[in-house]
Structures are given as structure tokens and as C-alpha cells.
Amino acid sequence: HHIAIDLWSISVLVEEIQALYPAVAAGKAPPALPMPTPYADYVAWQRKMVQGPEGERLWGYWRRQLADALEPMELPFDFPRPRFHTFRGASYPFLLEPDFRDRLHELAHREGTSLHSVLLAAYHVLLHRYTGQRVVVAGSPVTGRTRPEFARVVGCLINFLPLRADLGGDPTFREALQRVYTTVLEALDHQDFPFSLLTERLE
């Protein structure tokens, strides 16, 4: 569960088990593995960073980025929202046909973006059309491991980026895609600011 560990950490643990298990199974001394950076060191670094000039720079970026994006999205529902959150929901799994998937990859390549940005732009456009709001925000997770010393930390380092899209002026999809791609690149450059602190400060 993410309260304790993220997928990246599970990969680290699996690699260590693969390195240690053959020796243990053969009754031999396991090989010495490099000591990973403790999770507490990551927490201390993040606290110091947030309280210093870098934290102020990152906070300034997100405050400006989200200044006009704090209105709740008014999505049309097919039934009234319950008075109390129940967290009951459903998912709708589906597969992209190989031909369609290939065309999405071609579009990303042709526009000099990523597949992630193509799908995110499509999602932003869908939200814009449902809500009629010029500015829409969708969240995207990142690993939270921007520094090499944290690559093998075991814990939950995931952070979330609120990715804002301004779809004013009736842009074409290609124009919307370029806007979203620029936003994604900027957000990745400012991803170290913790989402929990961001929501707290923005109330």
C-alpha cells in the first residue's frame, strides 16, 4: 500500500531478492549489497529544501500556475452527488486497438511530444468540453526521485503534479497538445514541491 511503499521501491526490493536468493538457497553467505539511503534522509532533505530558497522558488511557480485554476470543476453527473462521500465507484477498463495506438504514437512523434502528453491533452479537452471551463486541471503522479541518491530509497516517494491546461481561444487539438506538453515539461522541472503542502497552502 502507498502508505508504506511505492512501485519503484518494490522493484528495488525484487532486485535485492534476486541478488541475494541464489546464495542463500545454496547455503552460501549472501553478497554484500550497497547500503541504500534511508527514507529518513529523504524526509530531512525534503524538509530542508521546502524551507529554503529552492522551496520558495518552487512554491512561487505553483502559486502562479494555479492562481486561476482553483474553481471546482462542474462536471455534469447522471445522478446527484451524495451528501456524504462514500468512495463507492467503478472503473471502465478498455484496450486501445493496435492501429489506434500506433496512430497516437505517430501523432506524438510528429508533434515532438510524448504519448503521455497526447493522452493528457485529450483528457483535458474532454474535461473542457464537459465543463465549459477555460482552465482545467488534471493530476499526474511522478516518482519523486529527482536526485540520484534517492534512486534506491524504499518507501513512498510518489508526488502528484496538478497539470493545468488553458484551452481558451478555441485551440485546435495540436495547439492544445503543445500547450499541455509545455505545461508538463515545466511541471517536471518543479516537481519536488510536495503536493500535500501545495494543497495545504492553497487551501
pLDDT digits (tens, 9 = 90+) for 87-110: 888 899 999 999 999 999 999 999
How far from 185 is each of 92, 110, 161, CA to CA, in Å?
29, 18, 11
Q: What is the pLDDT of residue 6?
A: 94
φ/ψ of residue 77, rounded to 5 = -110, 155
Read off the pTM. 0.85
In this prediction, residue 68 carries a pLDDT of 83
Question: Residue written as cell 501545495?
Answer: 198
Q: Residues 170, 57: contact at Cβ < 8 Å?
A: no
The amino acid at residue 184 is: V
Give the span between the Cα atoms of 65 and 84, in whole angstroms.
31
Summarised one tens digit per residue, pLDDT across range 125-142 is 999 999 999 999 999 999
Q: Is 63 within 8 Å of 198 (Cβ atoms)?
A: no
